[in-house]
Amino acid sequence: MEFSHIPVLLNECLEGLAIDPTGIYLDGTAGGGGHSSQIARRLTTGRLVSLDQDPDAIEAAGKALEGLPATLVQTNFCNARSALYGLGIEKINGALLDLGVSSYQLDEASRGFTYREDVPLDMRMDQRQSRTAEDIVNGYEEKELYRIIRDYGEDKFAKNIAKHI
């Protein structure tokens, strides 16, 4: 399966960024490179830094950004500041975060996000990370599962869900 991305609200995002062709921009979630490539195409002497923690996304975005003024960094967007500083960038003109899980990650059975196929429960954005979702649901105590579901899932039934897991 090919990792591709059709940008959602592309024109609205580009309009909101008000791209200066000489500016520096950050795409914190490169995905398949849909938004990134459209931002980079609008730059002349400017630069785009595009981040993603998923190696499959980095590979796909690399193809989409080939020949464009863009730098790809494999990291989570929460590390954007250090990624930018590492490239000698102290200030940017704008940033975009297309948050969520991509359809590629959901549709590619080996990623372990799907309910459609009987595959191991993985759910890692970067499969080099050590713990899978299967490790967590089978290894964490009920109290810790409750905290995770409550804090990150914001589910009002977190206690009951953790109990049943």
Q: What is the pLDDT of residues 81-94, one digit of tens each?
A: 999 999 999 999 99
Res 3: pLDDT: 63
13-49 per-residue burial string, b: 16 or more CB within 10 A, e: under 16: bbeebebeeebbbbbbbbbbbbbbbbbbebbeebbbb
Digit-coded pLDDT (tens) for 117-126 = 888 888 877 7
Beta strands in the chain (DSSP E): 24-27, 47-52, 70-74, 94-96
Res 1: pLDDT: 52
Res 56: pLDDT: 86
- Measured CA to CA, the distance from residue 90 to residue 142 in angstroms comes to 43
- Decide if 33 contacts 52 (C-beta within 8 A): no
Res 78: pLDDT: 93
pLDDT above 80 for 165: yes
Contacts of residue 56, defined as CB under 8 A and 6 or more positions apart, other chains included, come to 3, 104, 108
Res 40: pLDDT: 98
Instruction: Average the pLDDT over 152-158 and give the result.
Output: 93
Query: In this prediction, what percent of the chain has a pLDDT beyond 70?
Result: 94
